[in-house]
Amino acid sequence: MQLSEQEQIRRSALQELNKLGINAYPPEQYPVNVLASDVSKNFQSNEEAYQDVCLAGRIMSRRIMGAASFLELMDSSGRIQLYFKRDEICPAEDKTLYNTVFKRLLDIGDIIGVKGFVFVTKMGEITVHVKEFTILTKSLRPLPIVKEKDGEVYDAFTDPDQRYRQRYVDLIVNDGVKDTFVKRAQVIRSMRNFLNDKGYLEVETPILQSIPGGAAAKPFVTHHNALNMPLYLRIANELYLKRLIVGGYDGVFEFAKDFRNEGMSRFHNPEFTQMEIYVAYKDYFWMMKMTENMIEKIALDLHGTTEVQVGDNIINFKAPYRRLSILDAIKEFTGYDVSKMGVDELLDVCKKLDIETDPSMGVGKLIDEIFGEKCEGSFIQPTFITDYPVEMSPLCKRHRENPELTERFELMVNGKELANAYSELNDPIDQRARFEEQMDLAAKGDDEAMVIDQDFLRAIEYGMPPTSGMGIGIDRLVMLMTNQSSIQEVLFFPQMRPEAVKKVITSADFVDMGVSADWAEIMIPAGFTSPDVLKKTKPSAIQQKLNGYRKKNKLDIPAIQMEDINNWLAIIN
């Protein structure tokens, strides 16, 4: 492995520590008794309590001034300044611990523990005066340290690719990243508490499913060896939760990782989290109330107010939310009353509105398309869009007043769908017919049409009480609540293309080719990163390049001869 100079420096520092009898990875626990944020928050109101503190964390900056030094220590709670004084670290004659271990062998990024007392510097900064320190972990890679002065940020670690691939570094050096994920946990906790308080049962249902049902999406396929059959990662858990309602629970919910084999964007990750809930004897009107109350509570728990800044908008999550049918929404934004239109008229409207269509689209799809193009983005404040066409919603009960529509709502916030809910279809005859329509769509080439799930039909043939169900995108909710504009910011490890693995060659490989040990060390730095490179280079050029490198670096080894090179090439070929 080719190490950068800084990595080599850190490794040799590690060796020196070992020589001094210091274990840079000690096994025993370290008796931390306070967090950095506690010290900076509470020291001035109770100085006595901080005369004997013990902290541990990562060194984030160092300012060494002869026999005194300042450094910044970061623990899970935040940062605090440390003050080191040589004659206190090393009261006796031997100053090795300060001069060598502290000044030379420690680096930014190392994890240390310190014991001492808290005081305030002349600059007014609350600081730990260190009497004793312990190396807890030596860091072998340099951290990209972000610095800040007068509100300006220097050397920011901002490349999204690197931030997501090396989230651990992002968490260390970028302020606020940790906090986003703390807030994510708070959102989930708040929602879970809300649902538990209502007495609903949190359940777990299969992720590996033999029929990927409950939504219109392409699944990931895998294979079960023992059963020798394909299995799918779930695209939704809806059909399983409904089986549990059939089984007699009044309310069930699940925080579910779902998987969809579709495009990625700042709103889409192949695996994402939904909370789905089903409650017996309720309808979608009831569910609207529950949804808005739940979201209002989450906003209050998180921010202490229902008003949340999202991008340029302030979104008010205070219930109740506006309700608007999809047909009224279209009328409001386009002026067209599409409620009684057939396919031909709708195609005409789409043409006038400059919306792309294709011949496979039916009434429902066309209405959905118009809404998506012309309306959806306009609903910034939370709005329930209701009563979608029946073709779009094969699992949803028909509308009590109009059988062409369904009792469905989607909650729009900041121009995006956040939640989706139905009065669930519990008529097994109608459900079977709707599945068959989906089969027809599949036969026409719709690869997202739902597959018929016979066991689910069997379940609701036993009788599922009237039920309302709702699914809410947790990632999107967290994006709203933390003012993040991409889903990657609210997932610790968003999906990414794997890093390209470079084929690693070592000097030993050159030795195997008959290159002497001295020269083998030089091959890679001289630019011969694989035997292939050698093969493609003219022998005379190899000689020039290697001897050129030898001369430039004043290497004390014999120059390479044409004969040697020809011998290597003979072995390769």
Give, as ranges, the residues between 470 and 499 that touch RNA (CB under 7 A). 473, 475-476, 485-488, 496-497
**Minimum distance, C-beta of residue 234 to RNA, in the bound complex (Å):** 12
Closer CB to RNA, 104 or 352, in the complex: 104
Tell me, by CB under 7 A, how many residues bind RNA: 84
Token pair of 29, please? 């626990």
The correct pick among 40, 127, 325, 393 for binding RNA (CB under 7 A) is: 127
- Cα 512 to chain centroid, rounded: 44
Stretch that binds RNA, among 223-231, 243-251, 429-437, 525-533 (CB under 7 A): 525-533
In the set 47, 132, 262, 348, which binds RNA (CB under 7 A)? Answer: 262
DSSP reduced 3-state for 257: strand
Q: Which residues, at least 6 apart from 154, have a Cβ–Cβ distance to it below 8 Å?
A: 146, 147, 148
The residue range among 42-50, 209-217, 243-251, 338-346 that interacts with RNA, by the rule CB under 7 A, is 209-217
| Member of 466, 527, 539, 558 binding RNA (CB under 7 A) | 527
Name which position in 19, 340, 502, 554 contacts RNA (CB under 7 A): 502
Q: Candidates 51, 162, 305, 506: give the one binding RNA (CB under 7 A).
A: 162
Nearer to RNA, 256 or 280 (CB): 256
Binding positions for RNA, 2-21, rule CB under 7 A: 4-6, 9, 13
Is residue 397 within 8 Å of residue 426, measured between CB atoms? yes
CB of 368 to RNA, least distance (A): 7
Among 265, 561, 566, 567, binds RNA (CB under 7 A): 265
- Per CB under 7 A, the segment of 46-54, 211-219, 298-306, 514-522 that binds RNA is 211-219
* Residue ranges in 364-393 that form contacts with RNA under rule CB under 7 A: 368-369, 372-373
Instruction: Report strand pairing: 78-85 vs 126-137.
Output: parallel
* 114: its two tokens: 């310190």
Smallest distance from RNA to CB 208, Å: 18
* φ/ψ bin of 527: left (φ > 0), alpha (ψ from -120 to 50), beta (otherwise): left
3-class DSSP state of 538: coil
Minimum distance between the CB of residue 187 and RNA, rounded to whole angstroms?
A: 15
Q: Which of residues 417-456 bind RNA (CB under 7 A)?
A: 417-418, 420, 448
Instruction: Return the DSSP state at 210.
Output: S
**Which tokens belong to 81?**
């300044």
Helix (H) or strand (E) holding 371: helix 363-374
In terms of CB distance, is 394 or 564 closer to RNA?
394
Inter-residue contact 460 to 242 (CB < 8 Å): yes
Residues of span 50-69 touching RNA by CB under 7 A:
61-68
- Tell me the residue ranges of DSSP E strands in 243-327: 251-259, 271-280, 307-310, 313-316, 322-325
Length of the chain: 573
Rule CB under 7 A: say whether 266 interacts with RNA. yes
CA 49 and chain centroid, separation: 39
Give CA–CA dist 156/173, Å, rounded: 9
| Interaction between residue 357 and RNA (CB under 7 A) | no
Residue 359: DSSP 8-state: T
Sign of CA dihedral 131, 134, 140, 145: negative
Displacement of CA 256 from its chain's centroid (Å)? 15
d(CA 13, CA 110): 12
Contact 132, 88 (CB under 8 A): no
Give the residue with the Cβ less far from RNA, 372 or 403.
372
Site for RNA in 170-199 (CB under 7 A): none
Owner of token pair 């001094």: 20
Distances from the Cα of 541 to the Cα of 93, 210, 562, angstroms: 58, 61, 10
User: Which CB, 75 or 368, lies closer to RNA?
Assistant: 368
Q: Cα separation of 534 and 514, whole Å?
A: 13
Only one of the segments 17-25, 221-229, 300-308, 415-423 lies at the binding site for RNA (rule: CB under 7 A); that segment is: 415-423
Binding RNA (rule: CB under 7 A), the pick from 58, 242, 243, 260 is 260
Which CB sits closer to RNA, 158 or 193? Answer: 158
Compare residues 92 and 500 and give the one whose CB is closer to RNA.
500
Strands of 229-360 (E only): list them. Answer: 229-233, 251-259, 271-280, 307-310, 313-316, 322-325
Query: How near is the Cβ of 168 to RNA at its closest, in Å?
Result: 14
CB-wise, 245 or 350, nearer to RNA?
350
Distance in Å, CB of 255 to RNA, minimum? 14
Minimum gap (Å) between residue 258 Cβ and RNA: 7
220 touches RNA by CB under 7 A: no
**CA of 24: how far to CAs of 55, 84, 101, 220, in Å?**
17, 19, 11, 45
Minimum distance, C-beta of residue 304 to RNA, in the bound complex (Å): 26
Q: What does the DSSP 8-state code read for residue 151?
A: T
Closest approach of RNA to the CB of residue 109, in Å = 9
Interaction pattern, residues 91-120, with RNA; x per rule: CB under 7 A: -------------x--xx----------x-
Select the residue interacting with RNA from 149, 444, 538, 554 (CB under 7 A).
149
| 428-443 helix and 454-463 helix, angle to the nearest 10 degrees | 160
Tell me the closest approach of the beta carbon of residue 141 to RNA, in angstroms: 8
Nearer to RNA, 393 or 423 (CB): 393
